[in-house]
Structure 1
Amino acid sequence: MATAGVKRSFAALDSGGTGNGSGSGSNGGDAPSSPHLNGNSNGSSKAARVDGSQTPRPRQSVETDHRPSRHTHAISSAASSNWSSYPGTESPSIAIGLSREPTPVASTTTTPQHGGVQHRTNGALPAFPADASIVLIGIRGAGKSTLAIIASTAMKRSVIDCERVFQSIVGTTSWAYKRDHGAADCHRKQAEVLRDVLAANARQCLIVCSWTDRGVQVLLRDFSRTHPVVLVLRDARAVGEHLRIEDDDRARSLLNASSAIFRGCSSLEFFNVTESPGAAGRDGDGDDADAQARKDALRGGHHPPAPYLTLKRAERHFLKFLSLVMPAGSIPFIESAFPLASIPTEDRRFTYALSVPLSRLLRNDVDMQDLETGADAIEIVVDCEPGQGDEAHGTDHNTTTTPGSGSNVLDAERLSDVARMVGSIRRTTVVPVVYHVVPPPGQQQADAWYMEHVLHALRLAPEYLTVDLARLGDYELSSIAAIKRRTKLIGHFTTPAAEARTWQDPVWMAQYRRARAQGCDVVRLIKPAAAIQDNFDVNRFKAQVADALGDTRGIPLIAYNSGPRGRHSACMNHVLTSVAVSPVSELITPPGAPLRPLITAKEATQALYGSFLFDPMKLYVVGAHVEYSLSPAMHNAAFRALGIPHHYSPHSTPSLRGLRSLLDDPYFAGASVGLPFKVEIIALTHSLSRHARAIGAVNTLIPVRRLNPDGSIPRDEKLFNCRNRAGPVRALYGDNTDWVGIRACIRRGLSPANAVRPSSCGLVIGAGGMARAAVYAMLQLGVQSIVIHNRTVANAEKLADHFGQLFARRDIPLLSTWSDAEARTTRFHVLRTRDEAWPEGFRKPTVIVFTIPNHAIGDVPAPNFTAPEPWFDSPTGGVLIDLGYKTLDTPILAQARARSHRGWVTQDGLDLLPEQGFAQFELFTGRRAPRRLMRENALRAYTDEKGRSNLAQLQPRLNDITEQEP
């Protein structure tokens, strides 16, 4: 319950004032003063982009005769107020007595009531339209406007801020209008403005709203039936600082009160994790030693990141969230470039879900950055009982009520804590989230507690959500399946150790069939092992499932034994085995305690090699002069961390003939291809990835040991599932990850002022294989004007012609959608000399990529290339990337560093190498790369052209690793 003081503060907040009741200046809404946020420049909300939003198609009614389980009344009662707070996920099968009028999500038919609960039947919630406008709501200071600008740039959408529209119509802020005309008139006017904004901007917009009046809530609740309405949360301290509330407890109470209201009119929830200034705030502070280290770092190619670069992680995090909410492929998400991104985790072999109790996360007992090592997913185990794990807040979450009372079992702060942990994990890792709820003891209360957590999980859009097959009946399972949208359900079933059911018991097959019938996407069956024999019996059970399905497509099955005797079957399970964060010393679980994993991902991987299922393999970096390469140190460290006994070494050769002995080795697992073979090596391959084919260069060579029956090379998961096994090489597959690394470096270096727009221009210096990857990376980011300069003009023209023909044939696999007009206006220009005038109609470049080797190679001296001054004339600066790392003090890098005060940011080969290496590691092993560890080891192994190591020079970079995007 909010105190009277909090209510007064919230009233001031609702009208646009600060938390202490005073005005906050001319901007009564959430947005900063920015012309990009004014969705109505001519004073009429009607003029704000009317586009004729489509009326959603009615959903088909589906008949069902499933009766509720014995838990239905308790679950329904607990959900009675919760469902009304989740309009976009309203139960399609249960109409529960609500304290306020519910918002229907579909036409329904009524069936007889059971236990006082009215049943409704209808189809699953449809996906949001790809062009549906997205509404961001929440308390002022949550960061809605910043997130809207971030998303608008990536999605090419307009930003509409309701408060600024209000000001353009009325001529004053909401707060001032309320003061002069009264609360009732202000709220009526806000509702009118919002109604017009939603009607006129139902497509291709991001709408920001901080208002909370009941009329506004009704409009948002109705809009959330067909559009994403996202509650944006943030920590109390950050919100308090924005609202100038010095008392943390008061800020927290205000935040909880507002969150409870906003949840009632939103369908989704995003926690905007506050970024610390980190490296951006270290420039110019510290002792003399630190100052000297910074100077050394500048000479070594590193400049402390600008403050805006801290938003890069927020950008990746928010776009990831939207990619899980909107239809597949409609959001240009950053990770989609990586090889494993296109393969569902449940379709890969020997994947691991790192099991992390929520209680540990709330206690800050886990290093978020280390969670990614060896994990293919993070399983958040919601294990806390109400009131547990909240001492840090000084609050009591034990606000439970008796089932049927109409009150929520979980309070607003508890729900926000869960959202915060999901947000923190997504901010620091790239792997999917599995949300698993373990209810507390106590039958009725546990049911209500469990169901509220499950419903809240759907608001957070986890990639996977477990549903307890033992706790929920068919009726509840099908209801959850109907509202899950893109979240995949894992039907979870286990039995108590005391029951000691064998795998021959029909209950296991019955639960598999039931989960499949009720809409689950994966089934997880775990049996406490009573004897070693159980580890063999579970394999027989899996074979029985396959036989029973016949030619019918089943759903992925997770099945293994728990406990010390079940570790063998856990290691041999193929799909998302739950693993521990660290080695477990106490193997015996107390009676009645929930199941917990007893092996780590590294131990499970080592078991696969120790049992000869996989083989130790050999990998190489090949090129004319690769003795100095940092790739061996980087990849070997990653192999050790994951428990993979592979070895990666350099192999220099003057010609491709020197690769014959490597390719004939049955233990050859792949190679990184260096200069000068990136184009020439295509002649040795039998198949190319779509990216390598478009680029016309290869930097990754993969052996293929198993062909399709027709002799073709397998694709996707079939290709990855054949990794890590020795045997004759039957074909070679070529891929290119250089462009992935270059794209990442460009993204990291671009400021908001230099965000890619149709007028943006890029400059590529060089015309070899790396230049091809650079052009491709720019195109993937949406750069439509590209200038190429190379000493040999014919090669530059050949490069420009290559990509020009691809666009003419519409044969380039762009990850983001380009319109026909954008494709037609994409243009290339070759600068024949350094002195040639900049091409007319091209803006000065904000992206410059230098692809020529920056050091001496054999008898060829270092190029010592400098760019003409006009090439740096962009008024907003830009990013310059020198792809070499043998020397970090090249003339062109020095030119850009000297212009850092004008907005120029530099990146070099030490930034690029790990970024492209992450994708290579996936291709080599079929596993996710430990990114932080690979970055660190590449830096620690670095030596300059004279073989000298200078960790002091690189220490600032090592410090900044934790601040980088995952």
Structure 2
Amino acid sequence: MAHLTSVALFPRSDNPRARLPPTFTTQRVQRAFEPDASIVLIGLRGSGKRSLGFIGATALKWRFVTEDQCFEEYTGRTRADYLHDFGNKAFREKDIEVVKRMLDCHRTRCVIECGLGSLVTEVQSFLRAYCTTNPVIHIVRDMEQIRGLLRLKDTEARLMDEAEPAHRSCSNFEYHNLYDSNCEIFKEKGYPDRRSPNYSFKLKAAKEDFCSFLRFISGPRSYGHCQTTPFALSAVPVENRAYTHAVVVRSTQILNHQVDVEELESSEDAVLYKVDRFVDSSLADISRHVASIRRKVQVPIIYEIDRKLLEQDLPNNLQGNRNDIRFGLMLHGLRLGVEFLVVELDDEDDRMRQLIKVKGPTKIIGSHYNSAPDSRAWLSRARYAEYEKTCRLGCDIARIVQLATLAADNDDVREFERHVRAMAEPQLPLIAYNVGELGRDSLLTNSTLTPVKHPSSLCQSSDILGPTITTQESMQALFDLGTLDPLHFYVFGAGISHSLAPAMHNAAYEISGLRYEYHRQESSSMDEVLGLANNPYFGGASITRPFKVDICETLAAKSVHAEAIGAINTLIPLRATSDGKLLRMEDQVAHRGQAAPIKALYGDNTDWIGMTTCIVRNLSPRNVIQPAKTSGLVIGAGGMARAAVYAMIKLGCRKVMIYNRTVAKAERIAQHFNSWLLKEGVSGQEVGVLQSSTDSWPTNVNLPVIVVSCVFAFNYETEGDFRISLQWLSSPTGGLVLEMAYTPLNTPFLRMVRSLREKTGQSWVIVDGLEILPEQGIAQFELMTGRKAPRGQMRREVEQRYQMEDSESENVV
């Protein structure tokens, strides 16, 4: 914890939402907490606290506590009744008592919605102390949305607006609750009740990025899935990956509509968001920009204050406060939960230490820019002193940038990097490059978070520090230099003429600047698969039926997931050194993208990842997985069915039942997973088999709320060929149906579920294979290439290339 110097960061303004109150800097700020510390949500009425609290508590599997609920529990009366019976003064005193008691009694494993009590001075003082032990999140929403939702008059809206800044003084994080367009889908039907099985889908996008926000500020939780494999990008922090890029976006570019956040998504590994303007609305603008980037781009955010442009933009009467304003804006970035914050090494050491002490989960990039370097400055003692200062202050990453005056400066920066890598441990990740016309080559060879421009930007800044290359240009240069080699990738299997994998992956290669090719290789012989995998330029492959299980016997290593599933869908080569020795696994990861002799093969499975993502995204709060009672149903007994069973087990389902026309195959899968559960020491979970389509659902097992069909749809030529017991689909709360086939899109199984839903009114959410496919493909792309996948582009390519066979079909209903 750090006690920050008391200073009025922002002068008074006609717009109270635009400034930080002085109390913001006098409180003891803490942003690192115990994993089970309760999370408190505060904010204006209509900001979305209760909806987000419900979503967060459901995802965390924690208790959801509200101020209204506690008031009635502690007093035996509703708030309205208490006010009526005892009057305003007594009500106010009791409300303060209730809020304090609520917070004190629920310090762990709760998500707490603090209502009107957070506007009371005594409660705000209590919350400031609470910030030292627990995350207190200020939920912010655009006032126009609140006005429309609550139907406020001008005076009412103004009074609410004036009360809002006080919430910043008693919170340590801030979340801007953006409008969620998914609400429009359910506008006619409504679903106002949070207990409704459809409620969460009104806030589908908000659910994803709010849960992501909670994961970041308080650490990994039980929800979501973990890709425990050395080849997964998630296994390596972005700053430790090779040849990563950060697309630069300035606050003024967004405000002036020169950059469309909707179009930012590409193959960059991070977004470098630069604040280069300060006006009355700056804090609200920054919060909205960060929230938009987080939702649309879904990559780490690097938050930086552009000192030069910011100070140029300040009016004369604020120049004396420029350092305080800049410092306050950096603190605001920490409140927003950005992944990286840039601090400048020539700032006061005390201020930098204060920021580092209160950074929480945010990583600090210590930055130095030399605009007038001496000759051979990269190799001077002063340059190494800059790096050492970054280490000494406790920064997480060092960034050193210099204006190039000679072409030889590019050779010098590479020499400097080599010397740093040879220094004694511990070493910080290093970002080092030259800027200016002569510095382009060093940008191309810088390995860590190189700043790049986005091709969709309507204009670029004239600032010399601004990016001059795109990610695509940078990656193509690595192929020109021979750093990366052109590789070949394949989809192997029988009956794959309909596969969308080549179109999807080749589109991703093109937009990413990768000179790779992805081919369709239809085959019924595993020898052909293994023969192609002997080519030094083989990059990897997607494996489909009938090889998913049999090929496991030929692998030298598998991920823990592929081992548990007993089937793979992703094949990765393991390369050897020039003398024929197999590279260590960590070296295999570092050498992806380089051709070399192939010594063995590694197998992984991304089918379960695609399923897990879609289940987490679409399962309603009413049907959230409860380990003590949730059941699932898998139809089929091939490699895909194995992945479905595994996904349900990993998500916590107590019982998973399998139905397949050939019972023996289903029993083999059940035996496989029951043995695996026993080996892993997992109790309370089991896999069973339904013997026929007319069997009754087991009486000691809850009806399934997750149903996954893993049957090749072309096996059923007529609707009459596909039959399962309708009793299996009679969950009173409905549930989620995943159809893994996407050809034809409207399968006999989906037609049956839709018909049942129309007749009974049951709330079954339907997800077809076309939605799941990009999730699988994105995971495969990243495993095989080691590059961040251009997610939006991959999804668009699937939609554009796929010929819809049934106009009545829907991706998500």
TM-score when scaled to structure 2?
0.90
1:919 to 759, 765, 779: 779
Q: Determine the C-alpha separation between the residues in 2 that align with 1:715 and 1:332.
A: 28
Alignment correspondent of 1:259: 164
The answer to whether structure 1 residue 515 and structure 2 residue 412 are counterparts is no
2:470 to 600, 606, 612: 600
Alignment correspondent of 1:504: 379
Q: Determine the C-alpha separation between the residues in 1 that align with 2:528 and 2:175.
A: 53
Alignment correspondent of 1:426: 294
Alignment correspondent of 2:620: 751
1:134 positional shift: 0.8
Alignment correspondent of 1:807: 677
Gap change, CA 1:254 and 1:334, over 3 Å in 2? farther
Alignment correspondent of 2:509: 639
The answer to whether structure 1 residue 556 and structure 2 residue 429 are counterparts is yes
1:447 positional shift: 1.0
Gap change, CA 1:279 and 1:342, over 3 Å in 2? farther
Q: Determine the C-alpha separation between the residues in 2 that align with 1:760 and 1:179.
A: 44
Q: Determine the C-alpha separation between the residues in 2 that align with 1:135 and 1:772.
A: 40
1:856 positional shift: 4.4
User: Which amino acid letter does the alignment assign opposite residue 692 of structure 1?
Assistant: A
Q: Determine the C-alpha separation between the residues in 2 that align with 1:800 and 1:711.
A: 39
The answer to whether structure 1 residue 852 and structure 2 residue 725 are counterparts is no
* Number of equivalences: 783
1:784 to 640, 654, 677: 654
The 5 A counterparts of 1:486-885 are 486-497=361-372, 502-547=377-422, 549-550=423-424, 552-582=425-455, 593=463, 595-706=465-576, 714-715=584-585, 718-758=587-627, 759-810=629-680, 823-856=682-715, 864-885=721-742
Q: Determine the C-alpha separation between the residues in 2 that align with 1:724 and 1:463.
A: 27
Alignment correspondent of 1:485: 360
Gap change, CA 1:763 and 1:354, over 3 Å in 2? same
2:175 to 240, 261, 270: 270
User: Which amino acid letter does the alignment assign opposite residue 442 of structure 2?
Assistant: S
User: Which amino acid letter does the alignment assign opposite residue 209 of structure 2?
Assistant: H
Q: Determine the C-alpha separation between the residues in 2 that align with 1:553 and 1:132.
A: 31
Q: Secondary structure at the match of 2:343?
A: strand
Q: Determine the C-alpha separation between the residues in 2 that align with 1:890 and 1:354.
A: 41
Q: Determine the C-alpha separation between the residues in 1 that align with 2:683 and 2:91.
A: 49
User: Which amino acid letter does the alignment assign opposite residue 221 of structure 2?
Assistant: S
Per-residue CA deviation, residues 790-848 of structure 1 (Å, 9 max, x unaligned), is 1222221221122212222226xxxxxxxxxxx42212221111112211211211111
Alignment correspondent of 1:325: 217
Q: Determine the C-alpha separation between the residues in 2 that align with 1:279 and 1:707.
A: 57
The 5 A counterparts of 1:259-408 are 259-277=164-182, 280=185, 308-327=200-219, 329-330=220-221, 332-333=223-224, 339-384=232-277, 386-387=278-279, 397=280
* Structural RMSD (CA): 3.2
Q: Determine the C-alpha separation between the residues in 2 that align with 1:595 and 1:349.
A: 22
Alignment correspondent of 1:237: 144
Alignment correspondent of 2:194: none
Q: Secondary structure at the match of 2:472?
A: helix
Gap change, CA 1:264 and 1:506, over 3 Å in 2? same
2:329 to 453, 464, 471: 453
1:176 positional shift: 6.2
1:565 positional shift: 1.9
8 A Cα contact 1:376 1:431, kept in partner: yes
1:782 positional shift: 1.9
1:652 positional shift: 1.2
Alignment correspondent of 1:164: 69
Q: Determine the C-alpha separation between the residues in 2 that align with 1:155 and 1:600.
A: 39
1:786 positional shift: 0.8
More displaced, 145-154 or 485-494? 145-154
Q: Determine the C-alpha separation between the residues in 1 that align with 2:408 and 2:221.
A: 49
Q: Determine the C-alpha separation between the residues in 2 that align with 1:237 and 1:312.
A: 21
Q: Secondary structure at the match of 1:837?
A: coil
User: Which amino acid letter does the alignment assign opposite residue 146 of structure 2?
Assistant: V
Per-residue CA deviation, residues 253-303 of structure 1 (Å, 9 max, x unaligned), is 44542331011111111111111247725989xxxxxxxxxxxxxxxxxxx
Q: Secondary structure at the match of 1:480?
A: helix
The answer to whether structure 1 residue 899 and structure 2 residue 756 are counterparts is yes
User: Which amino acid letter does the alignment assign opposite residue 326 of structure 1?
Assistant: S
Structure 1: tracts of 5 or more residues without a match: 1-58, 63-71, 83-89, 91-96, 106-124, 285-304, 388-396, 398-412, 812-822, 944-948
Gap change, CA 1:782 and 1:586, over 3 Å in 2? closer
Gap change, CA 1:872 and 1:862, over 3 Å in 2? closer
Per-residue CA deviation, residues 612-640 of structure 1 (Å, 9 max, x unaligned), is 21111100000122122110001101111
Q: Secondary structure at the match of 1:678?
A: coil
8 A Cα contact 1:220 1:266, kept in partner: yes
1:319 positional shift: 1.5
Structure 2: tracts of 5 or more residues without a match: 13-19, 190-196, 313-318
8 A Cα contact 2:345 2:367, kept in partner: yes
Gap change, CA 1:727 and 1:682, over 3 Å in 2? same
Q: Secondary structure at the match of 2:683?
A: helix
Q: Determine the C-alpha separation between the residues in 1 that align with 2:25 and 2:490.
A: 66
Q: Secondary structure at the match of 1:225?
A: coil
Q: Determine the C-alpha separation between the residues in 1 that align with 2:149 and 2:201.
A: 20
Q: Determine the C-alpha separation between the residues in 1 that align with 2:121 and 2:420.
A: 53
User: Which amino acid letter does the alignment assign opposite residue 881 of structure 1?
Assistant: L
Q: Determine the C-alpha separation between the residues in 2 that align with 1:355 and 1:437.
A: 12
Gap change, CA 1:356 and 1:711, over 3 Å in 2? same
Q: Determine the C-alpha separation between the residues in 2 that align with 1:847 and 1:583.
A: 40
User: Which amino acid letter does the alignment assign opposite residue 749 of structure 1?
Assistant: N
1:474 positional shift: 2.3
1:864 positional shift: 3.4
Q: Determine the C-alpha separation between the residues in 2 that align with 1:501 and 1:537.
A: 7
Gap change, CA 1:419 and 1:715, over 3 Å in 2? farther
Gap change, CA 1:264 and 1:178, over 3 Å in 2? farther
User: Which amino acid letter does the alignment assign opposite residue 505 of structure 1?
Assistant: S
Q: Secondary structure at the match of 1:569?
A: helix
Gap change, CA 1:494 and 1:739, over 3 Å in 2? same
Alignment correspondent of 2:306: 438
Q: Determine the C-alpha separation between the residues in 2 that align with 1:661 and 1:778.
A: 35
1:642 positional shift: 1.0
1:337 positional shift: 7.5
Per-residue CA deviation, residues 570-624 of structure 1 (Å, 9 max, x unaligned), is 111000011112278999x75xx46211111111111111222111110000012
Alignment correspondent of 1:814: none
User: Which amino acid letter does the alignment assign opposite residue 921 of structure 1?
Assistant: F
Q: Determine the C-alpha separation between the residues in 2 that align with 1:217 and 1:603.
A: 52
1:746 positional shift: 2.2
Per-residue CA deviation, residues 52-77 of structure 1 (Å, 9 max, x unaligned), is xxxxxxx8x99xxxxxxxxx9xx974
User: Which amino acid letter does the alignment assign opposite residue 565 of structure 2?
Assistant: I
Q: Determine the C-alpha separation between the residues in 1 that align with 2:328 and 2:296.
A: 26
8 A Cα contact 1:495 1:501, kept in partner: no
Gap change, CA 1:283 and 1:727, over 3 Å in 2? farther
Q: Determine the C-alpha separation between the residues in 1 that align with 2:582 and 2:37.
A: 41
Q: Determine the C-alpha separation between the residues in 2 that align with 1:172 and 1:307.
A: 28
1:725 positional shift: 1.1
TM-score when scaled to structure 1?
0.76
8 A Cα contact 2:263 2:456, kept in partner: no
- Percent pairwise identity: 36
Q: Secondary structure at the match of 1:136?
A: strand
Q: Determine the C-alpha separation between the residues in 2 that align with 1:179 and 1:496.
A: 69
Gap change, CA 1:922 and 1:675, over 3 Å in 2? same
1:748 positional shift: 3.4
